[in-house]
Structure 1
Amino acid sequence: MASFQKYSTKQGQLWLFKMDTGINPDTGKRQATTRRGFKTKKEAQLACAKLQQELTSGVTINNNNLTYYDVFNQWFSQHSNTIKSSTKKSISSKFNKHILPRFGKLKIKEITKPYCQQVINEIAKEIASVNDIKIQANQVFKYAVKMDIIVKNSLEHVIIPKKKKELITEDRHGDERNYWMKDEIKRFLTITKEELSLRDHVIFHLLIYTGARKGELLALEWDDINFEAGSLRLWKTLFQSDGKHLFQTPKTRDSKRLISLDTQTLTLLKKWRISQMEENLAYPDWKRDNNIVFTRIDGTPLRLAYLNEKLNILIKRHNLHPITIHGLRHTHAYLLFEAGASIKEVQERLGHSDIQMTMNIYTHVTDTVKEQTAAKFQKYIGF
């Protein structure tokens, strides 16, 4: 039941209502709420009806003042127990950098759809992966609905704005190509052989010839390589945080895979294995894990950023077409497609859980091949 009454203020006569809100789950006693500041009795009645509807839907009076940050803490304290350390670190970074500064101090029940759209629009101007930010922020809203803290999810139907370059289909490739073609690969591997250590040359060779992720290669052990069968088992990845490292299983089942190796790659790996064994014999006092394929001098795994730095230095020094470390995976896919491999074969070799990821590379590569075909035709016909 609710009661309404008029009261006097310096601004004049206003209305309030008092309403029983049921049993407090923390104390086990009945509780009531008073809401003030309504200009008319009609406004007070409408506000009372709305509050009653929220209570009927399961929204308790105790939840009405929770901020987004409060709800985030509730959700993350549970969610963090179900994910890996690397994922936990990544999610925390996204919330601290992009989400909590914009939502944290606001009462979650008062966050509106227009404000959510404004936030997503702002983030889209800053980073390309805005959809991932939306997904993470939405987890908190979904949790709030699930726990009866709010009735509706204000972020659910927010639209991700398209970037200008996504709306332009002409000249889609050009500088956006994040892979190398055969002549570029040959030049790069010649450079790594001449200028880098044998260890680093072998790593870059494997990145191009296997399509493995850098974290997968840096977690590789000699037991994962079967020289007789000519195969490589990829089933874990290196994760580093605060100067510490650990090996963990990948996010998806498809990332665990057994891939075949060509004879050139096997020969190169045998050469590196012999070199590593000789080094271990020369320095018997070093306490290091001799089973890890690629390590620093002290036997600890290489920094994940090390390969990025080496690649960028060589690209700038030799004026190579700019690509990222991840672009070496695309390079491997490009070579496979050019050699006639099917989309399914490439998907399995790269460990893509979503075939759309493979299709995106396939579309890019085949479009490039079509452009080359047209150029060849023009050159042949001569006018």
Structure 2
Amino acid sequence: MASFRKHENGTWEYRVRYKDRSSQKHKEKSKRGFKTKKEAQLAAAKVEMDLDYYGFSEDGNEMVDKYFENWLEVYKKPHVKPITYSLQERNVRLNILPKWQGYKLKEIERTEYQRWINTLRETYTEGTVRRIHSIMNSAMNDAVHEFRIIKENPITRISVPKDNQDDKEVKFFTIHQLEHFLSKVKAPQKNAKYQHSIQYYVLFTLLARTGIRIGEALALTWDDIDLDGKKLNINKTLVYPTNSKPYLSTPKSKKSKRSIGLDDQTLQLLKKHRINRSEVYLRYMNYKKADTNIVFHQHEGRWLRTNVVREYFKEICKRINLPVLSPHALRHSHAVHLLEAGASLKYVSERLGHSSIKTTADTYLHVTQKVEDQALELYQQYTKMNL
């Protein structure tokens, strides 16, 4: 509610009391210097309207931590996937607020912000810093255009130092490395608790033969596999946040929802896995069936944990003296091997579920360049033969 007061010099002042949405505490905004009471009333009315609609003050004095608390809760949480919100909240809490929480929005200055970005690059990769900057930039844009707290965004067109080209190189196994890796996973592991299970061998083979993401693989149910039609239907992904319960989500993008052809070897291995699963239930009394018909699961019947799969993968790499990569390298390996075998860029892009062919071309630039060179060489040989 607004109140007004006339000062000795003849000017008027307004005071507006309101409840802050984040702290639920009563606060007050005031401004003086108006020539007439009517001017003060009009200004106060706009302040009350903006506070009622936005829940924020409009003069740039909003503290960064309070602003982000409201911004995440009101503008992000209801409108993005839970895993996206979790990543944004985590970046705000661990990276943005430690630097900026003591600042008012109007105190964020471009040069200091650029120095901060440069410092982040000493610790994080280019991609990680770009994600942090994207969150900060989006929040600042909303402060300008949605909440009208500040007049302009001081951090537009900030430069994020680029990675060295070597750092951006896609990690993958050669055909021979992949064969060596899978042969070792297939062999019974010494001291393994459930030696009769072929689950990890099937999982890693599936990743290597289809190029699907690990989350997509762990979310699979037997209903997603068309054994007669030799198709694998990707329509969901498993999200396993740190210190939180796992859940199923929609695929990464619209193109990620897709149907993938299965080669005969992989198809037969999946059939064998289904039989092996039943044998494992009978052989090990504490190995429980899953409540749902998921293809891969822990002995308690729950989804496999992505971090456990990654650690197991790395342990195999160390044991057999292969480059210590992550399961995502199997996806890259599949794409590289397809391109080297002569598959079209369009086919590989659709199989991987990339949002565009450009994503595929940019990711596997070194391979596509090799394919182009080979194609040009074939063309030259062809023209010579027909001259």
User: Shorter-chain TM-score category?
Assistant: 0.7 to 0.9
Question: Secondary structure at the residue paired with 2:347?
Answer: helix
Which ranges in structure 2 are unaligned for 5 or more consecutive residues? Answer: 1-5, 20-27, 34-42, 190-196, 376-387
> What residue is the counterpart of 2:135 in the other structure?
136
| Per-residue Cα deviation, 1:151-185 (whole angstroms, up to 9, x for no partner) | 0001112111224x24xxxxx49x94501111111
> What residue is the counterpart of 2:271 in the other structure?
270
Counterparts of 2:114 and 2:11, CA distance in 1:
35
| Per-residue Cα deviation, 1:119-148 (whole angstroms, up to 9, x for no partner) | 211112211121111101112101111211
Contact 1:254 1:351 in 2 (8 A): yes
- How far off its partner does 1:277 sit? 2.3
Counterparts of 2:181 and 2:372, CA distance in 1:
25
> What residue is the counterpart of 2:187 in the other structure?
194
RMSD of aligned residue pairs (Cα, Å):
3.3
> What residue is the counterpart of 2:262 in the other structure?
261
- Counterparts in 2 of 1:33 and 1:339: CA distance versus 1, 3 Å: same
> What residue is the counterpart of 1:96 in the other structure?
93
Counterparts of 2:107 and 2:7, CA distance in 1:
25
How many residues are paired up? 332
Counterparts of 1:106 and 1:253, CA distance in 2:
39
| Per-residue Cα deviation, 1:181-206 (whole angstroms, up to 9, x for no partner) | 11111111111111454100001101
Contact 1:333 1:361 in 2 (8 A): no
Contact 1:59 1:150 in 2 (8 A): no
> What residue is the counterpart of 1:339 in the other structure?
341
- Counterparts in 2 of 1:231 and 1:62: CA distance versus 1, 3 Å: closer
Percent of aligned pairs with the same amino acid: 34
Counterparts of 2:123 and 2:12, CA distance in 1:
46
The one-letter code of the counterpart of 2:230 is: G
> What residue is the counterpart of 1:250 in the other structure?
251
Counterparts of 2:361 and 2:198, CA distance in 1:
34
TM-score by length of 1: 0.77
Contact 1:226 1:232 in 2 (8 A): yes
> What residue is the counterpart of 1:208 in the other structure?
208
- Counterparts in 2 of 1:251 and 1:182: CA distance versus 1, 3 Å: closer
> What residue is the counterpart of 1:43 in the other structure?
none
Q: 68, 72, 78: which is aligned to 2:68?
A: 72
- Counterparts in 2 of 1:177 and 1:112: CA distance versus 1, 3 Å: closer
Contact 1:343 1:362 in 2 (8 A): no
> What residue is the counterpart of 1:118 in the other structure?
115
Pairs within 5 Å for 1:143-162: 143-145=142-144, 146-162=146-162
The one-letter code of the counterpart of 2:346 is: K
Contact 2:117 2:160 in 1 (8 A): yes
TM-score by length of 2: 0.77
Counterparts of 1:234 and 1:31, CA distance in 2:
54
Counterparts of 2:305 and 2:286, CA distance in 1:
24
Counterparts of 1:294 and 1:112, CA distance in 2:
50
- Counterparts in 2 of 1:19 and 1:95: CA distance versus 1, 3 Å: farther
- How far off its partner does 1:367 sit? 4.6
Contact 1:121 1:160 in 2 (8 A): yes
- How far off its partner does 1:62 sit? 3.7
Counterparts of 1:247 and 1:309, CA distance in 2:
22
> What residue is the counterpart of 2:235 in the other structure?
235
> What residue is the counterpart of 2:224 in the other structure?
224
Contact 1:237 1:248 in 2 (8 A): yes
- How far off its partner does 1:94 sit? 0.9
The one-letter code of the counterpart of 2:31 is: T
- How far off its partner does 1:275 sit? 1.1
- How far off its partner does 1:255 sit? 1.1
| Per-residue Cα deviation, 1:5-62 (whole angstroms, up to 9, x for no partner) | 99xxxxxxxxxx97757x84959xx974259xxxxxxxxxxxxxxxx9xx99x99894
- Counterparts in 2 of 1:275 and 1:62: CA distance versus 1, 3 Å: closer
| Per-residue Cα deviation, 1:191-242 (whole angstroms, up to 9, x for no partner) | 1111454100001101100101111111110000000000001111111233
Pairs within 5 Å for 1:174-193: 176-193=169-186
The one-letter code of the counterpart of 2:186 is: K
- How far off its partner does 1:361 sit? 3.2
Q: 101, 106, 112: which is aligned to 2:103?
A: 106
Counterparts of 2:267 and 2:184, CA distance in 1:
20
The one-letter code of the counterpart of 2:106 is: K
Q: 337, 356, 359: which is aligned to 1:357?
A: 359
- How far off its partner does 1:271 sit? 0.4
- How far off its partner does 1:149 sit? 0.4
- How far off its partner does 1:344 sit? 1.2
Counterparts of 1:285 and 1:356, CA distance in 2:
45
Counterparts of 2:295 and 2:89, CA distance in 1:
31
> What residue is the counterpart of 1:33 in the other structure?
31
- How far off its partner does 1:112 sit? 1.2
Question: Secondary structure at the residue paired with 2:233?
Answer: strand
Counterparts of 1:331 and 1:220, CA distance in 2:
21
Question: Secondary structure at the residue paired with 2:31?
Answer: strand
Question: Secondary structure at the residue paired with 1:81?
Answer: coil
Contact 1:211 1:349 in 2 (8 A): yes
Q: 305, 308, 328: which is aligned to 2:307?
A: 305
Contact 2:7 2:13 in 1 (8 A): no
Larger mean CA deviation between 351-360 and 262-271 belongs to 351-360
Question: Secondary structure at the residue paired with 1:125?
Answer: coil
Alignment of 1:83 with 2:85, yes or no, is no
Larger mean CA deviation between 101-110 and 272-281 belongs to 272-281
